[in-house]
């Protein structure tokens, strides 16, 4: 029986054996607590028919736990110094494959179709590098990657923003962008002490389950997101001010914006963070008559 990778001693041994040093620029923080890893995997609800996709496997701590439960694991690793380490640590798991590629540049649909042929249930499970969390999540969602859901560890502050409800200080364009595509919930908070090296912030695990249909039906999706971003341009300003200042030609079309707010039954004095996704949907459809 091989010893789990995610213990402080085994992690230290592996790093020493390969003379591995952490690269700050890649946001490398390795988990050294098997219980936490198992709880993360529990939240993904994998079966022996599931394909698991991991981003940033590090030395394979989470990959190993995924491989124990999934039919196949595919991990994307950007740091080539980790490839020989992963070949070693994952040698007991022939159904775990590592691709040396930046996931943000990958043609994911094509790669997943090839690698998971015949596997219908796909889940993304990862301890994401904090500096690229949002671009990775948005790529997975916007490119309509055929996954059941996403269970990822990220900075607690970002998790709070993703799962935030209208009217709270954390609610913003990121909350809406992710909740448009998925049902989002924070499932656990992870202390910084279970990482090597320790990050400066606490982490959280968030579970995103893909909706069959987006949360709201809109005429023009790209314009809907433009309206959402414009509405949060400056948080202390009213929605009318933000739309006038941040929509293209907003200043010249103030009357049209006021008219759209009225048609959508949104008080122009409200702030963006008080509007629900449904209200943003209605508002973007009204604004679209003049702007999109």
CATH number of the domain enclosing 256: 1.10.8.100
What pLDDT does 43 receive? 98
Q: Write out the residue range of the structural domain in which residue 157 sits.
A: 8-210
Q: Are residues 63 and 132 in the same domain?
A: yes
Q: Are residues 153 and 262 in the same domain?
A: no
Mean pLDDT of the chain: 94
Which of 170, 186, 210 terminates a domain? The answer is: 210
Query: If pLDDT is split at 50, 70 and 90, which confidence band does 98 have?
Result: very high
What pLDDT does 198 receive? 86
Considering the domain boundaries, does residue 67 fall inside one? yes
For residues 62-101, one letter each, b for 16 or more C-beta atoms within 10 angstroms of the residue's C-beta and e for the rest, the string is bbbbbbebbbbbbbbbbbeebeebbeebbeebeebebeee
- Give me the helix-helix angle, 156-163 and 173-181, nearest 10°: 70
Place of tokens 């993904």: 44
Q: Are residues 112 and 133 in the same domain?
A: yes
pLDDT value at 133 more than 90: yes
* Nearest CA among 34, 27, 24, 26 for reference residue 60: 34
Considering the domain boundaries, does residue 176 fall inside one? yes
Query: If pLDDT is split at 50, 70 and 90, which confidence band does 1 have?
Result: low
> Residue 126, Cα to own-chain centre: how many angstroms?
9
Q: Are residues 114 and 147 in the same domain?
A: yes
Mean pLDDT lowest for which of 9-23, 24-38, 43-57, 143-157? 24-38
- CATH, residue 185: 3.40.50.150
What pLDDT does 292 receive? 67
Percent of the chain's residues with pLDDT above 90 = 87
- For the entire predicted model, the pTM comes to 0.92
Q: Are residues 150 and 283 in the same domain?
A: no
* Nearest CA among 152, 141, 144 for reference residue 176: 141
Q: Return binding residues for S-adenosyl-L-methionine.
A: 29, 31, 56, 77, 102, 127
Domain count, the chain: 2
What pLDDT does 291 receive? 83
What pLDDT does 201 receive? 87
Which of 210, 234, 258 terminates a domain? The answer is: 210
Q: Return binding residues.
A: 29, 31, 56, 77, 102, 127
Q: Are residues 146 and 205 in the same domain?
A: yes
Could you give the CA distance from residue 228 to residue 226 in angstroms, rounded to a whole number? Answer: 5
Query: If pLDDT is split at 50, 70 and 90, which confidence band does 157 have?
Result: very high
């Amino acid at each position: 029986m091989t010893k789990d990778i995610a213990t402080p001693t085994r992690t230290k041994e592996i790093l020493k054996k390969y003379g591995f040093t952490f690269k700050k620029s890649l946001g490398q923080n390795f988990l050294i607590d098997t219980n936490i890893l198992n709880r993360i995997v529990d939240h993904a609800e994998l079966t022996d028919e599931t394909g698991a996709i991991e981003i940033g496997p590090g030395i394979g701590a989470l990959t190993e736990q995924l491989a124990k439960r999934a039919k196949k694991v595919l991990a994307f690793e950007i740091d080539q110094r980790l490839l020989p380490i992963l070949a070693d640590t994952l040698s007991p798991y022939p159904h775990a494959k590592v691709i040396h590629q930046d996931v943000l540049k990958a043609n994911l649909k094509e790669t997943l179709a090839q690698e998971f042929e015949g596997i219908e249930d796909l889940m993304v499970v990862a301890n994401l590098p904090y500096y690229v969390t949002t671009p990775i999540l948005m790529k997975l969602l916007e490119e309509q990657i055929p996954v059941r859901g996403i269970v990822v560890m990220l900075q607690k502050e970002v998790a709070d923003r993703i799962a935030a409800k209208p009217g709270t200080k954390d609610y913003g364009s990121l909350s809406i962008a992710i909740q448009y595509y998925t049902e989002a919930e924070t499932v656990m908070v992870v202390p910084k002490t279970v990482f090597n090296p320790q990050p400066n912030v606490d982490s959280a695990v968030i579970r995103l389950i893909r909706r069959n249909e987006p949360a709201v039906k809109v005429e023009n999706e790209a314009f809907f997101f433009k309206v959402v971003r414009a509405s949060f341009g400056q948080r202390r300003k009213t929605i009318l001010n933000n739309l006038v200042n941040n929509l293209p030609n907003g200043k010249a079309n103030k009357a049209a914006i006021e008219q759209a707010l009225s048609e959508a039954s949104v008080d122009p004095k409200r702030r963006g963070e008080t509007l629900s996704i449904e209200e943003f949907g209605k508002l973007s459809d009204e604004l679209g008559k003049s702007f999109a």
